[in-house]
Amino acid sequence: MERWHERDTLISTSPQMASWSPDTPCSCDCFVSVPPASAIPAVIFAKNSDRPREEVQEVVFVPAGTHVPGSRLQCTYIEVEQVSKTHAVILSRPSWLWGAEMGANEHGVCIGNEAVWTKEPVGTGEALLGMDLLRLALERGSSAQEALHVITGLLERYGQGGSCREDPMPFCYHNTFLLADRTEAWVLETAGRLWAAQRIQEGARNISNQLSIGTDISAEHPELRPHARAQGWWGGQGAFDFAQTFSLTQQPVRMEAAKARFRAGQELLQQRQGGITAEAMMGILRSKESGICMDSGGFRTTASMVSVLPQDPTQPCVHFLTATPDPSRSVFKPFIFGVGAAQVPQVLSPTFGAQDPVRSLPRFQTQVDRRHALYRGHQVALGLMESEQDRGQQLRQKQRDLEQEGLEAVRGLLAREWAPPPQELGGLFQAFVEKESRVYA
């Protein structure tokens, strides 16, 4: 049974046990800017999702829903209890799973997750993926803090585990999360069922595949320190540094590389302090020199997202999504929750029902083509950019022009210079996906 600590934390049960391969690729980068770091009175969120090179990421809109009491919800691997009401969400997700790498809900909550390995061993059994926890938090949380409580509660009850890639060779990890809403952000870092959280009420912050919360802990699992002491990782006296206590003593190569990306991300945010905009965040996500725009061996940035969350609740939140890999050669397209918001078919992958390799046991023994229409067109465009210089430059310019059109529309909207009917606002993402599709036709 769950019970709450006086700091709004949950009591732990037993940790999960498993193994981890130090050669497994892993990378992602999340960023947030809270005024006064932002150039406008808004929280700005951003993420690059770095995944296996051939993995397709789709953009899925799920409307708000009401559910029968006691009903069950099938996530990627396991079922959980459904709640009576869920919020509308927009998700950028690997198309083979239920959860999401990043997304937002109708209340202006955004979340991105990262892979992390700690001294706590990774579970072998199938449980909730970090990506499942992310989607569940968006569907159930109306603020960043409420979404954080959703994750920690589900983590306590169901645990985290299961393979995080579409491959017969398991790829398992624990998770860190960056959560944001119109007023603040939270960093949540986990080690098995244990966790620590840090509240960000001003300034800029980033996370990159490593524990980053030191002694500045705003909330924590009540068994965090007792467990660390019992394991001999902390002496029980003096300051408690979560990252120092729970990080692996010998970091694998990939996690050492993540440190460099983390520092580069900090520097890029610092350079833009007080002037961070959606465009500035897009520029950071496109930084190849830092490794933030990933293209390394079997891994690359497969999708990206930037969100503007105005502090004024009368203004709409705007979420820019690529739905395609490599943000340096993709278009960030604006999505706004509204009357006309609906699923855009061009960014939805095909489904395979009971024959899907994720559903058939043993899992992932076959491969299927999950490419959606926009992904296919973008693939052709990337090929032209690499093989035909003139044609490639023309395509890249058309991408830039289209993205600028979206940014200008959003600027006008937030400055109250443009007031389209609700149906048009809700259909904005659809309109820009169709325009991008015509660029590649």
Phi-psi group of 203: left, alpha or beta (phi > 0 → left; psi -120 to 50 → alpha; rest → beta): left
pLDDT, average across residues 394-412: 98
**Residue 21: is its pLDDT beyond 60?**
no
pLDDT of 12 reads 30
Task: With H, G, I as helix, E, B as strand and everything else as coil, classify residue 385.
Answer: helix
Q: How far apart are CA 218 and CA 240, in angstroms?
A: 12
**Cα 435 to Cα 399: distance, rounded to the nearest angstrom:** 10
| Cα–Cα dist 16/260, whole Å | 29
CA 383 and chain centroid, separation: 27
Give the pLDDT score at 237. 92
State the pLDDT at residue 26.
55
Q: Cα dihedral sign for 34, 36, 38, 43? A: positive
* Burial of 298 per CB tally in 10 Å (0-12, 13-18, 19+): exposed
Contacting residues for 305 by C-beta, under 8 A, at least 6 apart = 45, 46, 47, 49, 92, 102, 103, 110, 112, 319, 320, 321, 322
pLDDT, tens digit, 9 for 90 and up, residues 311-355: 999 999 999 999 999 999 999 999 999 999 999 999 999 999 999
Tell me the C-alpha distance between 412 and 197, whole Å: 36
What's the confidence (pLDDT) of residue 8?
A: 34
Q: How does residue 253 score in pLDDT terms, banded at 50, 70 and 90? A: confident
What single letter denotes the amino acid at residue 380? V
Strand, helix or coil for residue 400 = helix
- Residue 5 — pLDDT band, cuts 50, 70, 90? very low
Q: What angle do CA 157, 93, 387 make, to 5 degrees?
A: 155
Residues 117, 151: contact at Cβ < 8 Å?
no
Model-level pTM? 0.94
CA 387 distance to own-chain centroid: 32
pLDDT single digits (tens) 57-113 = 999 999 999 999 889 999 999 999 999 999 999 999 999 999 999 999 999 999 999
* pLDDT higher than threshold 90 for residue 1: no
Task: Tell me what the mean pLDDT of segment 176-198 comes to.
Answer: 98
CB 7 within 8 A of CB 219: yes
Q: What percent of the chain has pLDDT over 90?
A: 88
Tokens of 404: 């600028």
Least confident of 153-157, 248-252, 258-262, 412-416: 248-252
Kindly state the tokens that stand for 409. 């529309």
- Per-residue pLDDT at 250: 82
What pLDDT does residue 255 have?
73
Average confidence (pLDDT) over 278-286 = 98
Residues 356-388: tens digit of each pLDDT: 999 999 999 999 999 999 999 999 999 999 999
Q: Is 386 helix (H, G, I), strand (E, B) or coil?
A: helix
- Which residues are marked as active site? 28
Return the closest-CA partner of residue 13 out of 254, 193, 200.
193
60/74 Cα distance (integer angstroms): 17
Maximum separation of any 2 CA atoms in the chain, in Å: 65
- Domains of the chain, first to last: 29-355 (3.60.60.10)
Q: Write out pLDDT tens, residues 117-131.
A: 999 999 779 999 999
Give the DSSP per-residue string, 42-56.
EEEEEEEEEEETT--
Query: In terms of Cα–Cα distance, which of 127, 111, 113 is closest to 176?
Result: 113
Looking at residue 123, its pLDDT comes to 78
Neighbours of 168 (CB within 10 A): 12
CB 101 within 8 A of CB 112: yes
